[in-house]
Amino acid sequence: MKRIIAISASLAIIATACSKKEKEYDATGTFEATEVTVSAKATGELQTFHVVEGQTLLQGDLAGNIDVTQLRLKKEELATAARQMQANQQQLSANRRATDSKKTDLEKQVAVIKQQIANAKRERQRFTELVNDGAVARKQLDDINYQISVLEKQLTATADQLSATNKSLAQQSAGIDAQISGIDAQKEGISVQSAQLDDQIANASIKSPITGTVLEKYVEQGEFVTAGKPLFKIGDTKNMFIRAYVTSQQLQNIKVGQTVKVFADYGNGKKKEYDGTVAWISNRSEFTPKTILTDDERADLVYAVKISFVNDGFVKIGMYGEVKF
């Protein structure tokens, strides 16, 4: 009887000691990583695709190329059309310069005739005085008057020609300007189309959006893909986080930026410790997920938290982990 009592007392002491032992964690959860599904941005045959599951890619690394032969041919057609338009525009500009030159020549002729008339009138004034004095014959004065009459008629004809030419040249110039403006608009349209083709050609190059590990591969080289088709999934397995759940009572001791301990549980008591930082705390409560154990199992509502940490390669997505605040 005394032996039974002693054993019972020992068990009670052990139970009490165990109940007083500090818990090794405050919350549990699973490890997650930022995952990105890379989809095709262009349609065509997958000419190259060098992606292997488990492969590490740096942000911006080229993972493959989609055939863009037709796009390049279309761009060359646009370039040829742009060159032809540029040549046409240069010819029109040359025509306009020629018409402007013709107008300038007529204006010079008018100016020369006006100057000749002015000189002749000065001579007439001088010879009029000489005729009145009887120094020269009147015929010389009549010749000067005739010369002035001829020059004035020539001036009128040239001025009329200049006016008609100006009107014609104005119409021609307006037509040339309209054609040049039309070509400019076409060139602008070609420039926009060319930029669109450049963007489509650039989208045919498949690049990694983040630095991480290829998690899944959905297509193979040589397949025909369409824009929006998933090609592979990549995850940032270095900068990982654990999503855990805590009760409202625990929230009073937790804040964003707080340094905590993260444990990767490998089973059979084997754990690996990491330094973590509270990166996010949900502002809404939710019902306790069935797979989550909290410090107070009687609580129905918990808050999700994310603790970020730097992975050394041993933690895998979906593994079970623990957090000590």
Cα 304 → chain centroid:
36
Q: What is the structure's pLDDT at 53?
A: 94
The per-residue b/e assignment along 93-117, b for 16 or more CB within 10 angstroms, e otherwise, is: eeebeebeeebeebeebeeebeebb
SS3 assignment, position 296: coil
Quick one: three-class SS letters along 65-93?
EECCHHHHHHHHHHHHHHHHHHHHHHHHH
Topology given in CATH for the domain delimited by 69-203: Helix Hairpins (1.10.287)
Integer CA distances (angstroms), 203 to 62, 208, 228, 253, 315, in order: 12, 12, 11, 48, 34
Q: What is the structure's pLDDT at 296?
A: 52
| pTM greater than the 0.85 cutoff | no
CA atoms within 13 Å, Cβ hemisphere of 195 = 6
Rounded CA-CA distance 9/290 in Å is 37
Rounded CA-CA distance 106/163 in Å is 10
Which run of H or of E encompasses 212?
Answer: strand 212-217
Q: What is the structure's pLDDT at 294?
A: 52
Say which residue the tokens 């963007």 belong to. 199
Domain chopping of the chain, boundaries: 23-67+214-324, 69-203
Beta pairing, strands 270-281 & 301-310? antiparallel
Residue type, 246: V
Q: What is the structure's pLDDT at 6?
A: 37
Integer CA distances (angstroms), 212 to 36, 37, 51, 233, 272, in order: 10, 12, 12, 10, 22
From first to last of its 325 residues, the chain has per-residue pLDDT tens of: 344 433 343 444 344 444 444 577 899 999 999 999 999 999 999 999 989 999 999 999 999 999 999 998 998 998 888 888 888 888 888 877 777 777 777 778 888 888 888 888 888 888 787 777 777 778 887 888 888 888 888 888 878 777 777 777 777 777 877 888 888 888 888 888 989 999 999 999 999 999 999 999 999 999 999 999 999 999 999 999 999 999 888 888 899 999 999 999 887 878 999 999 999 999 888 776 655 555 555 456 889 999 999 999 899 999 999 999 8
For the domain spanning 23-67+214-324, the CATH number is 2.40.30.170
Rounded CA-CA distance 175/187 in Å is 18
Rounded CA-CA distance 311/274 in Å is 8
Token couple for 165: 């030419």
DSSP-derived letter for residue 289 is: P
First to last CA, the chain: 47
Say which residue the tokens 């002035």 belong to. 148
